[in-house]
Chain A
């Protein structure tokens, strides 16, 4: 049972992927942990602490970034505004939203704006890794 639990809760180090993920999170400890798990999951990780920084980072690394993982409750410009701005820069952008609370109306708005998946906080590392993988794989399938 214990082994099963460990297998379930402890992510194993993955093989390295070639994809880059931009994490947008204002909560510094959470940002650090997400960076750790995604990095450990084999991704190249870029970080931003607010919407403005996220847009700047995306513009600077547009060709490199395959996926954006963003919080919705951000200081300065809101998560929704940031998503819309990123979508204007690249209409084919892949975005995953993570939030402690997502209003149903906001949920449908961000989905219309091109968000591919929504993850509710608190989440397990596997949930994030799995969602990221699914969204990235769906892009690969579409490209084929």
Chain B
């Protein structure tokens, strides 16, 4: 039973891979059986043109049948390939969506975690600048810190805008 199943699988695999070879085997097999039948008949009743016609008249139809089977096998293989390709694309799309949504989630958390301390820095700097407003060097330094903290904020915002939208 197991060997029968594996033979079937092998034949199926071969027919999908090489449908034209299968067609050849089909026609050769049919011709072989027809010739054996013809020999048996000729031995029994003597050779006749009618027998020859009887035996080989079905050959064109067998050829057409075999061609149709080959065509069906080829179309089925193409269809399976397209289905596999679509399934692969769908899986890849799902993976990409999951990755994107994980990144968006991380972005939300990061925006919250980063922007809160940046707000503290911005407000503290405003307060500090008021305290040292007569010392222009210190005000300049405070402005530098402010610019740097704004850059930190914009890195995340730019990343979100360009990569996650």
A residues touching B (Cβ–Cβ < 8 Å)?
2, 5-6, 9-11, 27, 29-30, 33-34, 36-37, 73, 98-101, 103, 120-125
Contacts and interface: CB of A to CB of B under 8 A. Distances in A.
A11 B123 CA distance: 11
Contacts of B115: 99-101, 120-122
B126 interface: yes
Contacts of A99: 112, 115
Given A99-B112, A101-B112, A121 B126 contact: no
A2 B136 contact: yes
Interface of B: 107-108, 111-116, 118-124, 126-127, 129-130, 133, 136, 139-140, 143, 146, 149-150, 153
Given A27-B116, A124-B123, A125-B126, 15 more contacts: A6-B133, A11-B130, A30-B120, A33-B127, A36-B123, A36-B127, A37-B123, A99-B112, A100-B113, A100-B115, A100-B116, A100-B119, A121-B118, A121-B119, A122-B118
22 contacts: A2-B139, A6-B129, A9-B146, A10-B126, A10-B133, A11-B126, A11-B130, A27-B120, A36-B123, A37-B127, A98-B119, A100-B113, A100-B114, A100-B119, A101-B108, A101-B111, A101-B115, A121-B116, A122-B119, A123-B119, A124-B122, A125-B123
Nearest to B114: A100
Nearest to A101: B111
